Amino acid sequence: MRLLVVEDDPDLNRQLTTALTDAGYVVDRAFDGEEGHHLGDTEPYDAVILDIGLPKMDGISVLESWRRNGRVMPVLMLTARDRWSDKVQGFDAGADDYVAKPFHLEEVLARLRALLRRAVGHAKSEFECGPVRLDSRTGRVSVDGNPVKLTSHEYRLLAYLMHHNGRVVSRTELVEHLYDQDFDRDSNTIEVFVGRIRKKLGVDIIQTVRGLGYLLAAPGA
């Protein structure tokens, strides 16, 4: 899952980025509204953490512009203000959730997981496909109850497919959602990671759809 953090406070931006990266997400960063607006308007993020009080372009204006342009990714808004009117303004602009500063990073992570689940119509933190289970809360993967150790890139790829279970996902989409903007993107690496995941799981749940991409499906489905 690829996220964007738009926060002008360098320390808070770094803390959020570190926590999200440690949780297995790919994170791009922006420190003002104009930069954040450009990235959110041109890159395919799975979710955005957006501060309201930004220089150059405030968060409400950024979000309103995204929504006018048809950008539908979930947005979690941050603000130092705790007035109900600010919350109403944020929700009316198209925000999906809201956290007031100061906050605990664990709460932000939990709210973000919920937004990502709801975006794909999934209510629980656990995703299942046949005997394979992925817990987005703990980052653990198991097959028939037995833990499977994946690298961070392998986990991100499997998690993305789990979130989009039953839909063909192209290599291009995977590259766009698994790597940050500065990564040397090569779709051939996706095939390598898929091969490794298949070997580690020992269960054939990732099907190759020739010319289109990959489809997650339970064995025999």
Number of domains in the chain: 2
The CATH number covering residue 35 comes to 3.40.50.2300
Q: Give pLDDT, residue 153.
A: 86
Q: Give pLDDT, residue 183.
A: 60
The yes-or-no verdict on residue 3 having pLDDT over 60 is: yes
Question: What token pair was written down for 215?
Answer: 């489809």
Q: Are residues 181 and 100 in the same domain?
A: no
On whether residue 221 sits in a domain, the answer given is no
Examine the fold and report which residue of 84, 119, 154 is the final residue of a domain before the chain moves on: 119
Q: Give pLDDT, residue 11.
A: 96
Computed over every residue of the chain, the mean pLDDT equals 89
For residue range 102-126, what is the model confidence (pLDDT) as tens digits?
899 999 999 999 999 888 777 678 8
| pLDDT bracket for residue 148 (50, 70, 90) | very high
Least confident residue range of 91-95, 134-138, 166-170, 182-186: 182-186
Q: Give pLDDT, residue 185.
A: 57
Q: Are residues 154 and 113 in the same domain?
A: no
- CA-to-CA distance for 157 and 159, rounded, in angstroms? 5
Specify the higher pLDDT residue, 207 or 219: 207
Helix (H) or strand (E) holding 50: strand 47-51
Specify the higher pLDDT residue, 180 or 24: 24
Range of the domain at 160: 126-216
Q: Are residues 104 and 38 in the same domain?
A: yes
